[in-house]
Amino acid sequence: MLNGYAGTVLRVHLTDGRVEKAPLPSTLAEDFIGGRGFVAKTLFDELPPGADPLGPENLFVMASGPLSGHFLPASGKTHFGCKSPASGGYGDSNMGGHFGPAFKYAGYDMLVLAGRAPAPSLLVIDDDRVEIRPAGGYWGMGSLSAEARLKEDLGEDYQILTIGPAGENGVVFACITHDFGRQAGRVGIGAVLGSKNVKAIAVRGTGDIPVKDASGVYEEGKRAYQAVRAKPGFTGWTPEGTAGITDWINRVGAFPTRNFSTSYWDRHPDINGQAILRELKITDKGCYCCPTPCGKYGKARTGLGDVYVEGPEFETIALLGSNCMLGDIAEVGYANYVCDELGVDTISAGVVCSWAIECFEKGILDRAVVGRDVKFGDLASVVYLLEQIARRAGIGDLLAQGVRAAARKTGRGSESFAIQVKGLEWSGYECRNAPGMMLAYMTSDIGAHHARAWVLGHDLAGTAANVHDLIASGGGGEKMPKSTPHGRARYVVDSQHTRPLFDLLGICRLQYMELGFEPEHYERLFEKVTGRRMSWRELLAVSEKVWQLTRSISAREIPGFGRAFDYPPERFMTEPVPDGPNEGHCITREEVDILLDEYYALRGWDANGIPTAETLRRFGLADAADTMADWACRRSVRQS
Ligand code: SF4
C-alpha cells in the first residue's frame, strides 16, 4: 500500500478492448511523485519513438498526484500527456475541477490509453468496472452539450471529460473539457483523445485513498485552509481571479494586442476583472476543495446571442480579447463559450484567429480563400473562423493545423507574425522588453506557454514575492527602460522547477503563486499524506529531473531538434513595440543567443540545447542517457 495513492495503473488497449490493471510501481511514486512526473516517465518508456501524434501508436496518459483527492486546499488537479500534434514533441496539459479526485476514489492513479477504438466510443469507469461503450449520438456534439447529456444519461455522480468537434476532427489545438468550463487546453491533447475515437471519459469513484497519518492530514489541512484565508490576496485576488491582473499587465506594457503587434491597449478597462464582475458574473466557481474559487460563471449577452460561460480568465481576455481586439467583455465571453463548445484551446485559437485576420488585412489571404471578410474587433469574424476551424471547413482546414504549419504553407512573410514556439501558440504576455519572460516562453518544454515559468515581475517590476503583491504595488504606466538579457536564466530555471512541481503533486499552484502561500505547508501536507519527509528543495530536485526528461523526449521525437526550436517569432526580433510603456523596444537575435547560452549552461545542456549524457546521469536518468546516445548515433548514421 502506497500512502497518498490509489495504488493502481489502468491501461486500456482501445484497438482490441483489453483492460489491464497493475499495481502502481513504488519506484515510480518514489522517483517521480505523480502527475506530470508519471506522464513524462511513461511517455519516455512506452511511447514508440517516431510515433505519429494522431496515429494509434501515440499514448494518451492521465495521472493524478499524491495530494489530489484529499480534503486539502485546491487538491483537484489532473495531468494529461501525449506526443503533441502541435509540436511533435513532449506535450502535457493540466486541468482542475473534480475529475482527478473521482478517478482516485475509483481506485486509480494513472490511465494509459493505447491504440484506437474501431468506432467512436465512451470510456466509462465505475469503480472497478471499466467499459468501452459506443459513443452513439454523442459523437458530433459540442463539449459542453455532450457533458450535460452524459450527466443526464449516466447520473450526476459521474465526473466527465469530453472533447468537441475540434477534437474529433484532429484540430491540433483541440482541448478536453470538464465541469462545464475547466479545460486541459494545451498541446492538442483533445485531438489525441479524438484520434483514439474516444468522445468522453466518465468516472464514478466511491473508494478511499490511504494516508499515513489521517489525523495529521486533518490538522495540517485545517491549518492550511486557515493560512490561505489569512492571506491579503484571499480578499484581494480571489474576487476577480486571474482576470484581476489585466490592468497591471497593460500598465507594464505586456498586453498582447492586435496579433502581438503591440503590447498596450487603452480598451483594457472594458475587458478586465471589474468588467467581468459588472457585466457577466453570476457566481464564483471553484475546483475540488478550493478555498479561492477563481472561476467566474456568468452570462454573456451579445448581438450574436446570449450564452452561459465560465470565464473568461486572463489568458482568454488577452488572446481572444486584446489580441483579436474584442473590446467588450460580453463579446470575449461569447467567443470563450464558442471555443469551449467546439473544444478548442482559447489561447491557441486567439493566436490563430488574429494571425488569419492580419493575413487578410495584408492581402496574404484573400476573400476567396477565407470565405468572407474578417477584421479585428469583430466578434462575427472570430466566431466564423472558430467554426470553420472546428469543422475543418474551407480556411479552417489550414488553420486547424496550428499557426506554425498554417504560416509555413501560406508563406509570403506570414511566418514572421505567426506567434509561437515549437508549434505551440504563445500565451498572454507580450515580452519584447521582458527578456526573462521571453526566455521562459522560448524554453518551455511544451512550446510557448506561461505556466511553466512566470517571471514578468522580475523583468518589469522588481521583486514582489507574489502576483497579489505585484498588483498591489502599482508600478508601470511610464516609459520602461530597455532591459538587459544578462542574468535572467537563473530565475527562469528556478521558476521552471517551482511551477511544474505542483503538477507533480496534483494540487493547484495559484495559492502559492498568487497569494504567497508558504512552501512549508506543502512539505508538511506531503509528509502527513505519504509518510515521506521531503524538503521543498528535494521536491524541486524531482521537478528538475522531470524537466530533463521532457526535453529528452522532444530531442528524441522531433527531427533536427535543438537551439533553432527555442527561438522566438521573427516579429519580436525585428519590429519594435510601436506604442505604450515599451515603445521602441524589441529583443535582438544577439540578446536571444545570450539568453540561450546562459540557460543551456545552467541546465547542463550542450550548445545546441541537448541534455548531455553526463547531465542525465547526474539526475539518475541513465536510461535517458543511453537512449539519447543511441538516438544521436542513429542520427549521425542517417546523416552520413
Ligand atoms: Fe481551481 Fe482556481 Fe481554485 Fe486553482 S485557484 S483550484 S484553478 S478554482
The three cell numbers of residue 212 are: 499515513
Q: What would the mean pLDDT of 587-613 be, rounded to a whole number?
A: 97
Q: What is the Cα–Cα distance from 322 to 275, expressed in whole angstroms? A: 14
Please give the pLDDT value at position 629. Answer: 74
Q: What is the Cα–Cα distance from 287 to 310, expressed in whole angstroms? A: 12
**Mean residue pLDDT across the chain:** 95
User: ∠172-176-181 over CA atoms, to 5°?
Assistant: 125
Please give the pLDDT value at position 269. Answer: 97
CB of 353 closer than 6 angstroms to any ligand 1 atom: no
pLDDT at 405 over 80: yes
Q: What would the mean pLDDT of 201-207 be, rounded to a whole number?
A: 98
CB of 233 closer than 6 angstroms to any ligand 1 atom: no
Distances (CA, A) of 390 to 146, 178, 317, 339, 571: 16, 18, 21, 9, 27
Nearest to 294 by CA among 75, 70, 510, 515: 510
291-316, pLDDT tens digit by residue?
999 999 999 999 999 999 998 999 99
Ligand 1: which of 287, 296, 314, 507 to mutate, most ligand atoms within 8 Å of CB? 287
Beta bridge pairs of residue 131:
124
Please give the pLDDT value at position 469. Answer: 75
Q: What would the mean pLDDT of 109-115 be, rounded to a whole number?
A: 98
Please give the pLDDT value at position 624. Answer: 84
| Contacts for 168 with CB less than 8 Å, ≥ 6 apart | 120, 139, 140, 194, 199
20-76, pLDDT tens digit by residue?
999 999 999 999 999 999 999 999 999 999 999 999 999 999 999 999 999 999 999
Can you say how many angstroms the Cα of residue 26 is from the centroid of all Cα atoms in its chain?
28
CB of 228 closer than 6 angstroms to any ligand 1 atom: no
Nearest to 316 by CA among 291, 288, 299, 337: 337
Q: How confident is the model at residue 471 (pLDDT cuts 50, 70, 90)?
A: confident
The three cell numbers of residue 307 are: 450564452
Residue 176 Cα to ligand 1 middle (Å): 17
pLDDT at 462 over 90: no
pLDDT at 639 over 60: no
- Index of the ligand 1 atom closest to the CA of residue 77: 6
Q: What is the Cα–Cα distance from 417 to 354, expressed in whole angstroms? A: 10
Q: How confident is the model at residue 464 (pLDDT cuts 50, 70, 90)?
A: low
Please state, as a whole number, how many other Cβ atoms lie within 10 Å of the Cβ of residue 622: 11
Q: What would the mean pLDDT of 86-104 be, rounded to a whole number?
A: 98
Q: With beta carbons less than 8 A apart as the criterion, state whether 189 and 183 touch.
A: no
Please give the pLDDT value at position 478. Answer: 78
Q: How confident is the model at residue 362 (pLDDT cuts 50, 70, 90)?
A: very high
SS3 89: coil
Please give the pLDDT value at position 199. Answer: 98
Buried b (16+ CB within 10 A) or exposed e, 462-478: eebebbbbbbeeebbee
Q: How confident is the model at residue 630 (pLDDT cuts 50, 70, 90)?
A: confident
Can you say how many angstroms the Cα of residue 1 is from the centroid of all Cα atoms in its chain?
32
In a 13 Å sphere around the CA of 324, the CA atoms on its Cβ side amount to: 35
Residue 225 Cα to ligand 1 middle (Å): 14
The three cell numbers of residue 384 are: 466564423
Query: Which H/E stretch holds residue 124?
Result: strand 121-126
Which residue has the least CA distance to atom 4 on ligand 1?
508
pLDDT at 475 over 70: no
Preceding amide of 312 cis, omega within 30: yes
Percent of the chain with pLDDT over 90: 90
Q: How confident is the model at residue 262 (pLDDT cuts 50, 70, 90)?
A: very high
Q: Are strands 305-310 and 424-425 parallel, antiparallel or unpaired?
A: unpaired
Q: With beta carbons less than 8 A apart as the criterion, state whether 529 and 217 touch.
A: yes
Q: With beta carbons less than 8 A apart as the criterion, state whether 434 and 591 touch.
A: no
Mean pLDDT is lowest, of 353-362, 391-400, 602-611, 631-640, for 631-640
Mean pLDDT is lowest, of 90-104, 202-216, 228-242, 589-603, for 228-242
Please give the pLDDT value at position 468. Answer: 73
Please give the pLDDT value at position 461. Answer: 65
Residue 76 Cα to ligand 1 middle (Å): 9
Q: Are strands 18-23 and 8-13 parallel, antiparallel or unpaired?
A: antiparallel
Mean pLDDT is lowest, of 270-274, 287-291, 448-452, 624-628, for 624-628
DSSP state string for 565-586: GGPPPHHHHHS---SSTTTT--
The three cell numbers of residue 490 are: 537563473
CB of 96 closer than 6 angstroms to any ligand 1 atom: yes
CB of 293 closer than 6 angstroms to any ligand 1 atom: yes
DSSP state string for 260-284: TTBS--TTGGGSSHHHHHHHTEEEE
Q: Higher pLDDT residue, 615 or 625? A: 615
Please give the pLDDT value at position 463. Answer: 57
Q: With beta carbons less than 8 A apart as the criterion, state whether 275 and 326 touch.
A: no
